[in-house]
Structure 1
Amino acid sequence: MEQQQQQQHHLLHFIHPNHPLLFNPDHRSGYRCRGCCEQVYGPSYSCRESGCYHYTHHKSCAELPLGLHHPLHPIHPLILFSPWRWAYVAEDKQFYKCELCKESCEECKDVYSYRCSRCDFNLHITCASLAPTTMEPEFHHHPLTPFWKWVIFTCDICGKEDKDKGMPYMCQPCGLWIHRTCASFPSRVKVVRHKHLLHLTHSSLQFHQPDPRFCQLCVQKLDTRYGLYYCSICDFIAHLDCAIFKENREYIDLQKFEDEDEVPELDESVDSITYKVNKFNMGEDGTQIAIEIKHFSHEHDLMLTDEVLNNQKCDGCVRDILPPFYSCVKCSFFLHESCVKLPKKKKHPLHQHPLTLLPKAPYMHKLFWCNACRQGCNGFTYSCIMCKFDLDVECSLKPDVFTHEGHKHRLILSNTAHRQKCNCCDNERYQVFRCTTCEFVLDFQCATLPQTTRYGQHEHPFTLSYRAEDNSGEYYCDICEEERRDSKYWFYYCEDCNYPAHPNCIIGKYPNFKFGGAYTFDCHSHPLTFVEETKDRPQCNECNDSCEELIYQCAQCNFYIHQYCL
């Protein structure tokens, strides 16, 4: 009896033959199990020798049988195998893919596998378990039974075919064949871009329309014969993957809402006033016109003016100043009247949390990269500090459905987990606008290009153009004198002078940066001026490399530092 009790508390394991693993009835250290890679709490085995505490196992993982006969590979027995230990001793450092979940052991190299080396067949220990004979998905009223044979089948939920054979889960009463991973889809979700909850619908009897439908999250075709998320109140429809995509999904307590409830939207009128009127005049129609204000973004009072000088930029949207606008009489600070009236809080379809208007990015270098257009900016940002999510003003104002002068059909916001190529610049982005009529794609960078702008000392304005200015087949930029790659790419054009140019040549490489402003940092005693580049390429005082562009400088002290070195 004593010998049997001792054996229950000691275990010799193949992964660690040097020392026995000791039993602990209530493990609390939080180490990860060497067998399944999950954290260990409760009954466990581990090595107590100095330096060996990482050899910890759940009791169930430590007591796994060394050999296994499995219905997915009946011709040979499977042997318990550690990819981590094999990679440690083998010269080729080879990792193996589980035949059931298709995940490579390189991504979870501590997970044990059952392996047949003769057939190069592998199953993770969690996938090899025969214990759970059925599973109960949220969205279906019958349990699903595993079919322990490799077959080629089309999943009735995602509509994808397993070309290399797979193991389906079956609902025998309904005749459904489902991937094991597809059985984990939630029955209800809330997405950022819709006010009601969406239900997973997976039967052609429940929902089937012969006319083509488009997912309203990615704006691409959706096959209604398979699973989808649907709001019957609004006829809102979405792909399964699009609805559970983390950037589209809104994480709320679904138990608090009924299907017909509208989830409350953010009231932008509450605590959204960003300025105080100091003086006002009466207009001809009797309305009050604020001529002097105090804005939350600036330390001095701002005056309403119509006098525009060359190369002035708004400190909010970082676009060319157009009258009427507010200016500071003490420093070069300007705000469009529309930027003064921006709400302090905003809900945007690209993010699940409310965004707060900030006059400067909440980061050390005072700059941010917009999550929509992927361009740098040092103007106002609509920011979610918790998620480090930022939108510049122009992108924040873009509606999710609009018509652009460069395309005849309406465009709808598409947010996906894969890149999509813009038709006007060939950049690939996750967030774009799509046309359901002709599959035209426009990214945020092109969608927010100004329709008209000026360039240097050129006397005429340039207008954004969407087609070739001639039929010669040769397209050049008159500023850089280099060939423009394709006539379909948008460009700026002065019709008076027959003067075409690349957008970057007209609006600059960094159109959303306002240069010349002074900022205070801990690394230097004087305010530093933000400049695009210097002619002599001085040495950075932090990294000692030459400063070529995006530099903070103190001309008084001959001090220079890269923006990313801050």
Structure 2
Amino acid sequence: MELQHWGHWQHPLVFNEDERSGDDCYGCLEPVFGPSYSCNECRDYLHHKSCVELPIGLHHPSHPNHPLILFDISTFLNENREEYDKFSKCNVCGEKSYEYSYCCYRCNFNIHFKCSCLSLTIQTEVHDHQLTRIWKLLKFTCDFCGKKGNLPYLCAQCDFGIHSRCAACPRRLKVYRHNHPLHLTPSLEVHQSDSPICRLCVRKVDTHWLYYCSRCNFAAHLYCAMLSWNWEHINLQELKGEQSTESKSEDTELHQSFDSEICKVIKTTLGEDETEIATEIKHFSHKHDLKLTYEIPNNTKCNGCVQSILSPFYGCTLCSFFLHKSCSKLPKIKRHPLDPHPLTLNYQQDSFSCVACAQTCNGLKYYCKKCKRDYSVLCILLPDALTHACHEHRLYLSKTNFKQKCSSCNSERYNVFRCSTCEFVLDFKCATLPQTTWYNQHEHPFTLRYTPEDDSGEYYCEICEEERDPKQWFYYCAECSFPAHRDCILGKKPNVKHHM
């Protein structure tokens, strides 16, 4: 059985009675199990049967004056950013989402389709009585989270009002970033001198309730924990602390293991301390064997991580192919908080775009088969808690559904490193900048600097001779008093190595 879908006119969608992949539905962003429709040409275009059959038009009590039209917000992402910002926010739940929505273009009114399907009455885990939906635009303060909103669920017996998203909060849930289940807990019961910090977005938790693990003092905002990329949908009855700890231990072992599919040792020798040293290897990224080398050619980059090569390293002089020892030992499968799924090591000579740092890269990468996303190895090798020379406090990975501005380059990203003490933010692009690097035939190395080299008030780049912003990071050769823009030293595409 086939049908033509309004959101995918290029190809027909084919019915599948029992989809078992668990890939996300293009309409509601939830995993698909059971009846579904998909495109045989575009494998990532998958829908629940119910999402495909949504009505194109809708009369809804939240906006009685005009009919609402079903549309796909993701079509605005690349075409019209202004329209996306306007229509991605739901007038009912107040959140932004990529899921299908119903909108009225005349009134700039938008409602996520899941919000449009909310029941008139519900039972919820966070309140003892039945709650009734009020569809009039009634401003109120949620008695659960303490934030303002509209269109509440009300309890007539208790004079209790709550957001629809707060009403959906389960008493317990599991997030990918933590090993134990989190429990719905009043903020007052979390004994801290200051407001607790959400470990998912690294911002203060200023709501009446939060998700909390008392065993590890791990706190999270209600909505951060319920975001699709944070919430791990598993059977909590089967989860035991011991099993979870064992699983984490297995992951650690996996990451440290030497995989013969990735790197096979051809020849070895004994070092001074009687340990075996691999002097020749066969690495999956190159067709020839690579030999251990100590002499570094000028301005050579590693073909794996595309950073300046360090001795000793493996090389193929015939092809000018070089690989750090550490890059040769990267695990085939790795987990990282950036992605909820296992990532697989690949090599790509052509360029790809890294999801984390938004830079063009090539060389070794980690790939998520489920999300079809590429990550540079530099980004994946960063831990979720980072100590960086640019800042006095420890920085923590912050994943949000809103963009945060980097304190170094002012770019805005969803995934950043954030300081829990102050408002300092660092994106992946700046976090992965090399601390020292070389430039063309310059005889000395350049060091990354975070503050101006002097108090002259006049700052210029010695390469392009243009003025420098003293608030921006730059590279500096102290031997020659030679300052330069980051891009002038590294180039416009520093994570791409051009092949001979």
TM-score interval w.r.t. the shorter chain? 0.7 to 0.9
Aligned to 1:331: 319
1:507 to 2:490 alignment = yes
Aligned to 2:155: 170
Residue identity opposite 2:444 in structure 1: H
Residue identity opposite 1:511 in structure 2: P
1:159 to 142, 146, 152: 146
Residue identity opposite 1:157 in structure 2: F
Q: Is the 8 A contact 2:188 2:208 kept in 1?
A: no
Residue identity opposite 1:389 in structure 2: R
Q: Deviation per CA, 1:115-157: give whole Å up to 9, x if none.
A: xx9x99999999999x966311234444324468765431133
The 5-angstrom pairing of residues 483-522 of structure 1 reads 483-485=467-469, 487-517=470-500
Distance 1:171 1:450, change over 3 A: farther
Distance 1:249 1:168, change over 3 A: closer
2:232 to 250, 268, 273: 250
Query: What's the CA shift for 1:261?
Result: 5.6
Query: What's the CA shift for 1:476?
Result: 1.2
Distance 1:204 1:405, change over 3 A: closer
The 5-angstrom pairing of residues 267-416 of structure 1 reads 267-269=254-256, 272-273=259-260, 274-360=262-348, 366-416=350-400
Q: RMSD of the alignment, in Å?
A: 3.9
Q: In 1, Cα distance between the equivalents of 2:111 and 2:358? A: 41
Query: What's the CA shift for 1:185?
Result: 2.6
What secondary structure sits across from 1:299 in the alignment? coil
Q: Deviation per CA, 1:503-539: give whole Å up to 9, x if none.
A: 111011101101025xxxxxxxxxxxxxxxxxxxxxx
Q: Is the 8 A contact 2:341 2:370 kept in 1?
A: no
Aligned to 2:12: none
Query: What's the CA shift for 1:220?
Result: 0.8
Query: What's the CA shift for 1:385?
Result: 2.2
Q: In 2, Cα distance between the equivalents of 1:439 and 1:155? A: 27
Aligned to 1:439: 423
Q: In 2, Cα distance between the equivalents of 1:414 and 1:239? A: 12
Aligned to 1:450: 434
Q: Deviation per CA, 1:183-203: give whole Å up to 9, x if none.
A: 1233333222111122233x4
Residue identity opposite 1:180 in structure 2: S
Q: In 1, Cα distance between the equivalents of 2:95 and 2:391? A: 43
Residue identity opposite 1:170 in structure 2: C
Query: What's the CA shift for 1:378?
Result: 0.9
Q: In 2, Cα distance between the equivalents of 1:464 and 1:516? A: 26
Q: Is the 8 A contact 2:101 2:110 kept in 1?
A: no
What secondary structure sits across from 2:122 in the alignment? coil
What secondary structure sits across from 2:326 in the alignment? helix
1:235 to 2:210 alignment = no
Distance 1:332 1:206, change over 3 A: same
Distance 1:122 1:198, change over 3 A: closer
Residue identity opposite 1:233 in structure 2: R
Distance 1:109 1:128, change over 3 A: closer
Q: In 2, Cα distance between the equivalents of 1:148 and 1:157? A: 19
Distance 1:469 1:120, change over 3 A: closer
Q: In 1, Cα distance between the equivalents of 2:447 and 2:334? A: 31
- Higher relative contact order, structure no. (Cα contacts within 8 Å, ≥ 6 residues apart): 2
TM-score (norm 2): 0.74
Q: In 2, Cα distance between the equivalents of 1:489 and 1:240? A: 36
Q: In 2, Cα distance between the equivalents of 1:482 and 1:126? A: 52
Structure 2 stretches lacking a partner, 5+ long: 1-14, 18-26, 29-54, 71-86
Query: What's the CA shift for 1:210?
Result: 5.3
Q: Deviation per CA, 1:351-409: give whole Å up to 9, x if none.
A: 00010111227xxxx32111111111111001112212221111111111121111111
Structure 1 stretches lacking a partner, 5+ long: 1-27, 31-36, 39-60, 86-94, 112-116, 518-566
Query: What's the CA shift for 1:167?
Result: 3.6
Query: What's the CA shift for 1:109?
Result: 5.3
Distance 1:497 1:348, change over 3 A: same
Q: In 2, Cα distance between the equivalents of 1:99 and 1:247? A: 23
The 5-angstrom pairing of residues 144-155 of structure 1 reads 144-146=131-133, 151-155=138-142
Q: Deviation per CA, 1:404-423: give whole Å up to 9, x if none.
A: 11111111111111111111
Residue identity opposite 1:169 in structure 2: L
Query: What's the CA shift for 1:172?
Result: 4.0
Q: In 1, Cα distance between the equivalents of 2:95 and 2:417? A: 33
Query: What's the CA shift for 1:316?
Result: 0.7
Q: Is the 8 A contact 2:141 2:147 kept in 1?
A: yes
Distance 1:497 1:122, change over 3 A: closer
Aligned to 1:191: 175
2:403 to 419, 424, 433: 419
Larger radius of gyration: 1
Q: Deviation per CA, 1:214-262: give whole Å up to 9, x if none.
A: 1101111111x52321112211111122112223333434443257862
Aligned to 1:533: none
Q: Is the 8 A contact 1:196 1:260 kept in 2?
A: no
Q: In 1, Cα distance between the equivalents of 2:108 and 2:258? A: 63
Q: In 1, Cα distance between the equivalents of 2:360 and 2:94? A: 39
Q: Is the 8 A contact 1:133 1:146 kept in 2?
A: yes
What secondary structure sits across from 1:352 in the alignment? strand
Q: In 2, Cα distance between the equivalents of 1:413 and 1:422? A: 13
Q: Is the 8 A contact 1:412 1:434 kept in 2?
A: yes
Residue identity opposite 1:463 in structure 2: T
Query: What's the CA shift for 1:489?
Result: 1.3
Aligned to 1:532: none
Q: In 1, Cα distance between the equivalents of 2:351 and 2:430? A: 21
User: How many pairs are equivalent?
Assistant: 423
TM-score (norm 1): 0.66
